[in-house]
A = this chain, B = another copy of it.
Amino acid sequence: MNKNRKALVVFSGGQDSTTCLFWAKANFEEVEAVTFEYGQRHYQEIEVAKSIANDLGVRHHVLDMSLLNQLAPSALTRKDQKIEHDEGELPSTFVPGRNLLFMSFAAVLAKQIGARHLVTGVCETDFSGYPDCRDIFIKSLNVTINLSMSEDFVIHTPLMWLNKEQTWELADHLDALEYVRDRTLTCYNGVQGEGCRECPACLLRNQGMVNYLNRKEEKI
């Protein structure tokens, strides 16, 4: 694609970003990964991300984004409000526009480590309702970060138009289906691999896999 063959993957240790990490390993000479720690995810997710990056031989940056708490509605209205987090719901620390902040930080980090390519697993297909997962936002951001640093970054979104079934297919093509199935963490209840099988994330993930495997079998 370009002389600079180094990529930085925005990486959470879940199915989507782990598939992106395999994709980046297949498409770039050098790959690093960055995980944002913001007190909103299971601590276990950071550990899972670390171990996957280690398995794949990828240098892994963990950035402390706890300052996001300063911007949460709770922090701005009542300083003494307790931060709560019910499973499967948006926590009171939820901050709109946080993907803008994460991607901007990723771009600044990419500049610092000399990577021209940024990879993120955002996806418009299972539209989450977050405007900053849309393709048009990513494209506009790409222009803005390039202007901000007089650089020529390319943001890659290999999952943008895939549904979950197709994301499993991509993992399979990358010879990573079993690894992604067994080692990633998507489950709201913090169960690695196939998960609790009950939460919305598990249902979506497992239905996608079943659909893909059925389709694959029909072909044979």
Show the binding face of A for B, using Cβ within 8 Å. 63-67, 70-71, 73, 76, 95-101, 104-105, 107-109, 111-113, 131-132, 134, 136-137, 140-141, 143-145, 147-150
Assess the B67–A97 pair: CB atoms within 8 A: no
Q: Which residue of B lies closest to A75 (CB)?
A: B112
Shortest A108–chain B CB gap in Å is 4
Q: Which residue of B lies closest to A64 (CB)?
A: B67
Q: Which residues of B contact A71 (CB under 8 A)?
A: 63, 105, 108-109, 112
Q: Which residues of B contact A105 (CB under 8 A)?
A: 71, 101
Q: A97-B111, A100-B148, A141-B144 given. 11 additional CB < 8 A pairs?
A: A63-B67, A76-B109, A96-B111, A96-B112, A101-B101, A101-B104, A104-B104, A131-B149, A137-B148, A140-B140, A140-B144
8 example contacts (A-B, Cβ-Cβ < 8 A) are as follows A67-B67, A73-B112, A76-B113, A97-B145, A131-B149, A131-B150, A132-B149, A137-B144
Task: Give Cα A107 to B141, complex, Å.
Answer: 14
Could you say which of B70, B107, B111, B132 contacts A64, with CB atoms under 8 Å apart? B70
Which of A70, A73, A98, A148 has most B Cβ within 10 Å?
Answer: A148
Given known contacts A73-B112, A95-B108, A100 and B64 CB-to-CB distance under 8 angstroms: no
Assess the B143–A147 pair: CB atoms within 8 A: no
Q: Which residues of B contact A131 (CB under 8 A)?
A: 147-150
Task: Give Cα A101 to B109, complex, Å.
Answer: 12
Task: Give Cα A150 to B147, complex, Å.
Answer: 22
Q: Which residues of B contact A99 (CB under 8 A)?
A: 148
Q: Which residues of B contact A67 (CB under 8 A)?
A: 63-67
Q: Which residue of B lies closest to A132 (CB)?
A: B148
Shortest A13–chain B CB gap in Å is 19
Task: Give Cα A20 to B148, complex, Å.
Answer: 22
Assess the A108–B97 pair: CB atoms within 8 A: yes
Task: Give Cα A37 to B159, complex, Å.
Answer: 37
Q: Which residues of B contact A150 (CB under 8 A)?
A: 131
Shortest A66–chain B CB gap in Å is 8
Q: Which residues of B contact A73 (CB under 8 A)?
A: 112
